[in-house]
Chain A
Amino acid sequence: MDLVTLWFWLIALTFTLYFFLEGFDFGVDILRPFLAKNEAEERALVGTIGPFWDGNEVWAIAAAGVMFSTFPVWYGTLFSGLYPVFVIILLSLLMRGVSFEYRNQVDQQRWRSFWDWMSFLGSLVPSFFWGLTMAKLIEGLPINADERVLGGFAEVFTPFSVVGGLATTLLFMLHGANFLLLRLHKDTELYNRARAAALFWGALATVAILAFVFMGYVTEGLFNSFGVVPWLFPVAAALTLGSIWYGLTRRRDVLAFLMSSLTIVFSTVTIFIALYTRQVVLPSTLNPEYSLGLRESASQPYTLVLMTWVGAIFLPLIIGYQVWNYYIFRERVRPDEGGLNKGYD
């Protein structure tokens, strides 16, 4: 494998890790208004993701930073081409990021519910638009011969990209509910509600994902370039998605969470396979010849060698201490009086 290929897949890895990790903390936040009935439960739900969400979010910045250094043309064209989408994602993440910190700083119900709304919207909106962005990666943007993207905000919304956004949001909700089953005390009311939510939103997610795959197959020729081996990934995604239901009904929480994680992993990888098999990082809807080629968009070898050393040293280290973080905060949360610190036992 040459370095361009390696870094293409490392970018795929950072996006995959981002969707897998932030997927569940987005999901928990989107589900909070549906699940929490009182302040104690509200805090318990925040507590399940409290020590993790910030580290999860950094994977998005990592994806952008790594893309900038190893595929500058891809980065520049995608981020400027989807300008309004990224503005919306940024504004949402801005409000969400401070909501956790600020919600309990002032002891007023209105203040708290304002920040609860911000973290709800701050999770719902980026979930949808990250999904939309992934759909756009497949579908392409109106890129002209100068690598510039034409067209306005309205054109961002196509049936395929909207379904992609919906599928991602619902999948994150399912994933978040599964995460809650690992993080909440089993003898609580909240835990049972989380299971019910997983089954309900999971069913909707399955429908949306199948619709997305079907549309991708019919209108975008999503799997046309796939060989036999790449086909295993969408098939695996379908299998893992199906087995979440099995895990949930048999009350095997770890299995359910593992399977929703794998569904996210296989789905994201499928999208990147679609790009890789065509050797294109961003298709042009105007003329296939204007599409950004994999090789043409990459940095020069010296930069890639340098980044490979950096990646080889730091990626395992980061994954290592993040895993340790999850291990330290492994206890289940219970909605007790006294908020977060006493929520653990």
Chain B
Amino acid sequence: MGPDVLDLSRFQFASTSIFHFFFVSLTVGLAFLIAVMETIAFVRKDRAHIYGNMTNFFGHLFLINFAVGVVTGIVQEFQFGMNWSQYSKFVGNIFGVPLALEVLMAFFLESTFIALWWFGKDRLRPALRLASIWLVAIGTQISAFWIVLANGWMHHPVGYEVVGDQAFLTSFSQVVFNYKAWLYFLHVQGSAWSVAAFLVLGISAYHLLRKQDVEVFSRSLRIGLVFAVIGSVFSATSGHRAAQVARYDQPMKFAAMEAQWETSTSPAPWSAVAIINEKEQRNTFNVEIPYLGSLLAYNRLTGNYEGLIPLQERYERELGPGNYIPPVTWVYWNFRIMVGIGMLMLLAAFGGAFLWWRRRDRLNDTRWYLRALLFTIPLPWIANFCGWITTEMGRQPFMVYGLLTTVEGVSANSYGEVLVGLIGLWIVYLALIGLDIYLLAVTARAGIHHKPEAQMSAAPAPNYAGEGFQGYERRN
């Protein structure tokens, strides 16, 4: 049997969300870094030239990426009605609210003030320009908050009651203060900062290795390091906590992350590598580290957790017959890749911080570290990708955990129209992601132009300073 409308719709949703998040995670993080850079340019007028160049350079990268983030966001917003109309009707009362809030509080703010910031270089006072980029940065965080809150509600529904064939909102404050959603938000936020920080680090390292614009890139390297430390610590700690709470609010997901078929012993070991046979519901090969399972699940050396098979029996008793076990292999491996990469990120960030502390001004000359940074650029993106696969696949077969299955949520579209739409979207997505990476790479490698006529000018003309960073310098 080939794929049906449900499979295609799931694939459509997954691809849209992953492509969208590829661009958006950079937007969310980079907006914040650029706002900080511009703030330093504003405050340290003696160094306005350096930080102004930095802001414009990374601002150009931001804009290339921002456009794609916005347009893929439209698909993200429309696809609920298009592919998941039964879901939309069921939860619109609740789920629609954070989405509407995202648009009204964030999208307008971002799209309006990004134009004011970039086009308004020569017509806004410096304080207003600075305010504009901060509003963009805040807008991106608000946007991330509401969409992740909506997603968190699907994982841990609160503040609702089901009346007839619709879920009704009973307490909006419960939805807003949903602990699960906040953990996800912190996690997503930390990973978005990491994406941007490692991009800034990698690009700075690239130019430092070539001794180009050392005064700019040595400083952007340090700003990148600060954010890399904050971002990777944030995502690691909130991620650890999010995995722990899954043990009691999404036990199936937790058991799948550990490929734990039977209920574990106490103290529980932690599986490092396993070969999983989902048909026979067992692991044919498993390397286990004693005590670590309990330590990760409870932050202490004792405690066990339920396995997939007993959970399946319990769900069948409570919710009726059906298969409640998510795709274990996918969840297990994506979780491990994500955690592994997260460790590498922590290492790279703290390693850099250590070098900075020990060697002070010679960080710029630590060539082995700079070279290593070039390879860290894609790491946070891969970790993000694996993280989304883990959490979304771990939720299956539910769309809203315990409440609505994915099968029940799908639209009654015809196979042909969904397939054609999916192919169309994929062609455009692949083109956009290719172009985005290509243009980011070209722009990043070109570095800071010192002759304005030598630069390509974008629709929002990147007017990087040959003559300096206009707005701030004029005041000196």
Seen from chain A, the residues whose Cβ lies within 8 Å of a Cβ on chain B are 46, 50-52, 54-55, 57-58, 60-62, 64-66, 68-73, 75-80, 83-84, 86-87, 90-91, 93-98, 100-107, 147-149, 152-153, 299-300, 302-303, 306-307, 310-311, 314-315, 318, 321-322, 325, 328-329, 339-341
A98: which B residues are within 8 A, CB to CB?
A: 67-68, 71, 432, 435
Determine the residue in chain B with the shortest Cβ distance to A59: B108
Are A87's CB and B425's CB within 8 A? yes
B305 interfacial contact with A, CB 8 Å:
no
Q: Complex: how many Å from CA A51 to CA B111?
A: 9
B100 at interface by CB-CB < 8 Å? yes
* Given the contacts A57-B111, A65-B102, A69-B100, A329 and B93 also touching, CB distance less than 8 Å: no
B94 adjacent to chain A (CB < 8 Å)? yes
Report whether A299 and B74 are in contact in the complex, using a CB–CB cutoff of 8 Å: no
Is B81 interfacial (CB 8 A cutoff)? yes
Q: How far is the CA of A52 from the CA of B68 in the complex (A)?
A: 17
Q: How far is the CB of A8 from chain B (nearest CB, A)?
A: 15
Contact bitstring B438-455, A, C-beta under 8 A = 1, else 0: 010011000000000000
Most chain A beta carbons < 10 A, residue from B115, B432, B443: B115
Is B456 within 8 A of A104, CB to CB? yes
* Cβ A302 vs Cβ B169 within 8 A: yes
Asked if A101 and B63 make an inter-chain contact with CB atoms under 8 angstroms apart, the answer reads: yes
User: Once the chains bind, are A80 and B100 in contact (CB under 8 Å)?
Assistant: no
Residues on B with C-beta less than 8 A from A66 are: 100, 103
Report the bound CA distance from A148 to B80 in whole Å: 15
Q: Within 8 Å of chain A (Cβ to Cβ): is B105?
A: yes
Q: Which residue on A lies nearest to B16, using beta carbons?
A: A90
Q: Is the CB of B424 within 8 A of A87?
A: yes
- A91 touches which of B91, B413, B428 (Cβ 8 Å): B428
B70 CB to closest chain A CB (Å) equals 6
What is the chain A residue whose CB lies nearest that of B123?
A328
Flag if A325 contacts B116 (CB, 8 Å).
Answer: yes
By the criterion CB–CB under 8 Å, are A93 and B93 in contact?
no
State which of A73, A76, A329 has its C-beta within 8 Å of the C-beta of B119. A329
- Residue contact A105 to B81, C-beta cutoff 8 Å: no
Q: Flag B84-116 by CB within 8 Å of A: 1 or 0 each.
A: 111111011111110111111101110111111
B70 engages A54 (CB within 8 Å):
yes
User: Which residues of chain A are within 8 angstroms of B85 by Cβ–Cβ distance?
Assistant: 75-77, 79-80
With contacts A62-B108, A66-B100, A105-B64 taken as known, whether A51 is within 8 angstroms of B116 at the C-beta atoms is: yes
B460, A299: Cβ atoms closer than 8 Å: no
> For residue A315, which residue of chain B has the nearest CB?
B104
Assess the A310–B456 pair: CB atoms within 8 A.
Answer: no
| Contact yes or no, A68 B96, CB < 8 A | yes
A340: B residues at CB distance < 8 A:
119, 457, 459-461
Compute how far the CA of A235 lies from the CA of B161 in the bound complex, rounded to whole angstroms: 47
Q: Judge whether A300 and B413 touch: CB under 8 Å.
A: no
Among candidates B81, B92, B109, residue contacting A80 with C-beta atoms closer than 8 Å: B81
A55 near B459: Cβ-Cβ < 8 Å: no
CA distance in complex: A180, B458 (Å): 21
Are B81 and A51 within 8 A (Cβ)? no
User: Does B120 reach chain A (CB closer than 8 Å)?
Assistant: yes
Top 10 A-B pairs, shortest CB-CB distance: A72-B92, A79-B81, A69-B96, A76-B85, A97-B71, A80-B85, A68-B96, A80-B411, A76-B88, A87-B421
A106 near B93 (CB under 8 angstroms)? no
Can you report 20 A-B residue pairs in the complex whose CB atoms are below 8 A from each other? A51-B120, A58-B107, A61-B73, A62-B100, A64-B78, A68-B100, A75-B81, A75-B96, A83-B82, A83-B413, A84-B420, A87-B424, A98-B71, A103-B459, A299-B92, A299-B93, A307-B97, A328-B116, A339-B461, A341-B461
Q: Is the CB of B105 within 8 A of A314?
A: yes
Residues from 51 to 86 in B contacting A, C-beta threshold 8 Å: 63-64, 66-68, 70-75, 77-78, 80-86
Residues of A within 8 A of B93 (CB): 69, 72, 299-300, 303
- Say if the beta carbon of B168 comes within 8 Å of chain A: yes
Distance, CA A314 to CA B109, complexed state (A): 10
Which residues of A are found within 8 Å of B463, using beta-carbon distances?
A: 341
Q: Which of A46, A61, A72, A322 contacts B74 (CB 8 A)?
A: A61
Which one of A46, A52, A84, A97 contacts B67 once the chains associate, using CB atoms below 8 Å? A97
B417 within 8 A of A: yes
Tell me the minimal C-beta distance from B101 to chain A in angstroms: 6
Q: Across the interface, which residues of A come within 8 angstroms of B84, CB to CB?
A: 76
B284 interface residue (CB < 8 Å to A):
no
Closest-CB distance, A345 to chain B (whole angstroms) = 12
Given A94-B432, A153-B417, A314-B104, A105 contacting B115 (CB threshold 8 A) = no
